[in-house]
Structure 1
Amino acid sequence: MPLGSGEFEEAWPRIVRALASFTGSLDDAEEYAAEAVARAAAHERDGGPPIESYAAWCTSVARRAWLDDVRRRSTLRRLAPELARPEADHTAMDADDLPLRGTEGLDDRLALLFVACDEAISAPSRMVLALRVVCGLTIPEIAGHLGIQETAAAARLTRAKRALADARGTFSVPDATERARRLPVVIACVAGMFTVAHRTVLDPADALADTGRQALSIADALVAAHPADTEVRGLRAVIRLGLARRPGRVDDTGTGLALDEVDRSRWDGDLLRAGLADATLAAAGDGRFALEAAIAGLHSSARSFADTDWPRIVTLYGALEQRWPSPSVRVARLVATAHAVSDRSAALADVERELESLERHGPAYASRDASLALADLEWHTGRQEQAAARYRDLADVMSVEPLRRFCLRRAVTPR
C-alpha cells in the first residue's frame, strides 16, 4: 500500500542499519537502500501486490541485490576464463544466516548516529557524516548550518566515510560505554537537524518532509535510552517547545510573523506542557542544552511578548555564550538585550554596532540573523526608510518563502 505520513522516515534508518550490519559498509548500505526504495516505488506504481512492511520489503530486496552483486564479482574474479561453462556458486548463502553486528533494543536511528560519531573520525567530519547519513540533510543544508562551503562539507563527508571504513573495517554499533562517550556529539547532531528545520521550514506542507518532527522522534528515542541525562532532556525540551510554537509562525497567507505579532492561542498546548516538563528536569544541569531549554521555557511560558522576562533571558544567553560561543547565540543575546533595556536608545547604539559587525563578518546564517535584527530595531524605533531598505535587501536573498514575504511586507508597511 502507498506510504503513509512519516513511514518513509521511520523505515529508512532501519533499512540502512540492517544493510550496514549485513554488508559491513555504510556506503553500500546507502546505495542498496536507495535502489530498494526505487524498486518499491516502481512496484507500487506498476500495480504490484501491497507491501505490508516497507522496511522489511526494502531490506530483503536490497540484501538480495547486494548478494547478487557479490556473487557476480566473485564469479568474475575466480571463473573469468570459463564464463561460458556454468559453475556452482559457492558464495551463495541465505541472508538470515549472516550475523548482525548490532545492539539489540537500540533505536535504529540512534545506532547509526553512534556509528557515525566514531572518535576515529575528526569532530567536524563526524558531524557532517551524521547529519547526512542519519539525519538526511543535504550537503547545502549542512554547509549552511555549519557555516562552511559546500565543497568543504562534501570533502568532510568523503573523508569521514573513508576514515570509518579504515578504522573499523566493518559496521559495528558501539557498546554502552562507548555510546556514552559519543553522546554529546549525537545530541549536537540531532540539535543541528532541528535547527535547520526550524530555520527553513516554518510551516511544512508535507509531513514526509517535516524534519522537525523527525528530530523530535529521534530525541524521544534518546530520552528512552538516557532518561536521566539533563542534556538529552534539554534537547527534547528545545525541540518540543519549538514545534509547539510553530503554528503561530505564519499568518493565513503564509507570511512569517515577528515574535510580537504571534497569536499565542494557536500554540500546541500539549507540546508546550511536555516541553516545559522536560525543561524543568533539564534545569538540574548547566550544559548547553539545559540553558537552551531554560530560554525556550521562558519564551513559551510568557503570556504575551510584553510579559517576557527579557532580563532573565539576557542572563541565560550570557551563560550560554560562555558555554557555547556560537555567532547565533551572540545575535540572540543582542536581540534580547535590545528588548530588555527600559531606555532603548541608551543601549541601542552598542547593540547595533555589534550586530553590524556580525552582519559583515559572521557566517551566512548569523549574518542573515543580524540583518533581520537590525531591520527590526530600525523598524521599531521609527527609522522607516532605513528599515525598509534593509528589508528589501533581505527579501532579495531570502530563500525561505514565509520570511521573504515578511520582509516585503515590512518594507512597505509604515510603523
Structure 2
Amino acid sequence: MPLGTGEFEEAWPRIVRALASFTGSLDDAEEYAAEAVARAAAHERDGGRPIESYAAWCTSVAKRAWLDDARRAAVARRLAPELARPEAERTAMDADDPSLTSFEGLDDRLALLFVACDEAISPTSRMVLALRVVCGLTIPEIAGHLGVQETAAAARLTRAKRALAEARGAFHVPDVVERARRLPVVIACVAGMFTIAHRTVLDPADALADTGRQALSIADALVAAYPDDTEVRGLRAVIRLGLARRPGRVDDVGTGLALDEVDRSRWDAALLRAGLDDATVAAGGDGRFAIEAAIAGLHSSAASFERTDWPRIAQLYGALEDRWPSPSVRVARLVATAQSLLAVGGSPAEVERELAAVEREGPAYASRDASLALADLEWRTGRRQQAAARYRDLAEVITVEPLRRFCLRRADLTPP
C-alpha cells in the first residue's frame, strides 16, 4: 500500500544513511535514494507485490542501481584502451558516431558484448575478447574456463584484436539482424562469466567486484532486449537460481559445504521464485540453456538432497551432452547417475571407471571435478581412507579457499 503519513519522513533518512555508508558519497546516496523511492511508487502503482519495509526495499534497490552504474563505468574505463583506435581515426565507439543510435535503449555493457563478438573474428577468439574486455575476466580465468593453456588464451586475444584492426574499414556497430546472429556467442559469454564466478567465488566479500551479480545484471539486460527468447530466459534462470543457492555454500567459518550439508532455509526465496519463473518460460525451448534451466530448477525446488530427482537430472544431463558436448557436462551426468544408483542401493562402480577416465584425460577443470566426484563417492560408500587420501591431494592443488578448506576437513586435517 502507499506510504502513509509520516512513513516517508521516517524511511528517508534511514535509506540515505545506509546508502551514504555503502557508496561513500552523500550526494550519490540522495540521488539513488530518490530513484529508489520513485521505483517503489511505480511498483505499487503497477500492482506489484506489497512492500513490507520501504526502507529495506528502497535501500536494496538503490544499492543494486548504484552497483550497476559503477560497473558500467568500470567497463567503459577498461574498454577504452582495449578497443580504441588511434586518435587520428574515427571509431564506432566515438560518442558522436551516428551508428551508435542503433544501440538506443540497449544496456551499454550488452552493446559492447555485441561489438566484441564481431563476426570478423573466429568464435573462440570472440569469446576470449568478450570475456576479457567487456566481462573483465583475467587470462588465467578465461583459460581455465575454456580448458586451454594461458598462452593459447593470450594468443587468441591478440588475434582477435588484430582481426578487429584489419576489419576496421567494415567494422561497425551491429544492427538488429547482426545482433541476432551474434546472440548465441553473447549468451555463452555471459554464461562463462557466471560459471567462473560460481566455481571460484563461493562467498564474495566485495559487492562491486561480485562477478556473479554482474552476470545477472547483463542477463537482465538481455531479457529486456529478448524477452521471449527461451535461451535468454534459460540463461537468466541458471544465474538467478545459482545466486539464490549461494548463501548456503559455505559455513560460518568459510568452509565449503557438500550439497547434503547445505541449510536450504538460507537460500534466497525471492530469487528462487524469479529463477523458477524464468525456467518455466525457458521450458518452451530445447536449447542448451533451456535444458540447463530445467536442471537448475530441479536442484532448486528439491526439499532435500535425498529427495532430489536424480534420475530426471541424469536424463537431462544426457540431453544436454547431446546438445552441447563438454567434459564438465559429462562429469555432471555421471555424478547424477551415481546418486541415482546409490539412492536405490546400486553400485556406482561403472560410473567411477568413467570418472577416472575424465580425471586422467580431461582438461584441468573437468579433471578436478572428476576427482572431487570420485572422492565424494568413496566417502559416501564407506571408503573413508581412500576418500581422505584423495581429498588431501586435492587440497594441495585447489586454490578456491572454501573448497580447499572443505577438502582438508574431509581429509581430517585442520584448515590453517
- TM-score, reference length from structure 1: 0.79
Gap change, CA 1:208 and 1:294, over 3 Å in 2: same
Of residues 84, 101, 112, the one that matches 1:28 is 84
Alignment map for 1:175-190 (pairs within 5 Å): 175-190=175-190
| Partner of residue 225, structure 2 | 225
C-alpha separation in 1, matches of 2:196 and 2:180? 25
| Partner of residue 12, structure 1 | 74
| CA positional deviation for 1:10 | 2.3
AA of the residue aligned to 2:365: Y
| CA positional deviation for 1:346 | 4.2
Gap change, CA 1:213 and 1:141, over 3 Å in 2: same
Contact 2:117 2:186 in 1 (8 A): yes
AA of the residue aligned to 2:160: A
| Partner of residue 32, structure 1 | none
Root-mean-square deviation (CA, aligned residues, Å) is 2.2
Secondary structure class of the residue paired with 2:167: helix
Secondary structure class of the residue paired with 2:227: coil
* Corresponding position: 1:99 with 2:155: no
* Corresponding position: 1:126 with 2:126: yes
Secondary structure class of the residue paired with 1:227: coil
C-alpha separation in 1, matches of 2:295 and 2:123? 27
| Partner of residue 316, structure 2 | 316
- Cα displacement string for residues 329-372 of structure 1 (whole angstroms, at most 9, x for unaligned residues): 00000000011125767441110000000011100100000000
Gaps of 5+ in 1: 20-24, 30-65, 75-90
- Cα displacement string for residues 81-138 of structure 1 (whole angstroms, at most 9, x for unaligned residues): xxxxxxxxxx9xxx97x43531222111111111111111111101000100111100
Gaps of 5+ in 2: 1-22, 26-65
C-alpha separation in 2, matches of 1:370 and 1:396? 16
C-alpha separation in 1, matches of 2:184 and 2:109? 16
| Partner of residue 42, structure 1 | none
Contact 1:112 1:173 in 2 (8 A): no
| Partner of residue 256, structure 2 | 256
Number of residue pairs aligned between Structure 1 and Structure 2: 346
| CA positional deviation for 1:13 | 3.0
C-alpha separation in 2, matches of 1:360 and 1:385? 21
Contact 2:241 2:276 in 1 (8 A): yes
Identify which range, 5-14 or 137-146, moves more after superposition.
Answer: 5-14
Alignment map for 1:351-366 (pairs within 5 Å): 351-366=351-366
C-alpha separation in 2, matches of 1:329 and 1:382? 26
| CA positional deviation for 1:16 | 6.0
Contact 1:338 1:344 in 2 (8 A): no
C-alpha separation in 2, matches of 1:107 and 1:28? 20
| Partner of residue 146, structure 2 | 146
| Partner of residue 83, structure 1 | none
| CA positional deviation for 1:28 | 2.8
C-alpha separation in 2, matches of 1:229 and 1:294? 15
Kindly name which structure, 1 or 2, has the bigger radius of gyration based on alpha carbons. Answer: 1
Contact 1:101 1:171 in 2 (8 A): no
AA of the residue aligned to 1:184: P
| CA positional deviation for 1:171 | 5.6
C-alpha separation in 2, matches of 1:405 and 1:26? 37
Contact 2:68 2:217 in 1 (8 A): no
C-alpha separation in 2, matches of 1:360 and 1:366? 10
Gap change, CA 1:259 and 1:379, over 3 Å in 2: same
| CA positional deviation for 1:15 | 5.0
| Partner of residue 391, structure 1 | 391
- Cα displacement string for residues 261-307 of structure 1 (whole angstroms, at most 9, x for unaligned residues): 00000000000000000000000000000000000000000011111
C-alpha separation in 2, matches of 1:339 and 1:28? 51
Contact 2:75 2:136 in 1 (8 A): no
- TM-score, reference length from structure 2: 0.79
Secondary structure class of the residue paired with 2:382: coil
AA of the residue aligned to 1:304: S
* Corresponding position: 1:266 with 2:322: no
C-alpha separation in 1, matches of 2:403 and 2:303? 24
| CA positional deviation for 1:5 | 4.5
| Partner of residue 77, structure 1 | none
| Partner of residue 333, structure 1 | 333
| CA positional deviation for 1:26 | 4.6
Secondary structure class of the residue paired with 1:101: helix
Contact 1:6 1:207 in 2 (8 A): no
* Corresponding position: 1:297 with 2:353: no
Contact 1:13 1:108 in 2 (8 A): no
Gap change, CA 1:16 and 1:368, over 3 Å in 2: closer
Alignment map for 1:175-254 (pairs within 5 Å): 175-254=175-254
Structure with larger RCO (C-alpha < 8 A, sep 6+) = 1
AA of the residue aligned to 1:241: L
AA of the residue aligned to 1:101: S
| CA positional deviation for 1:8 | 3.0
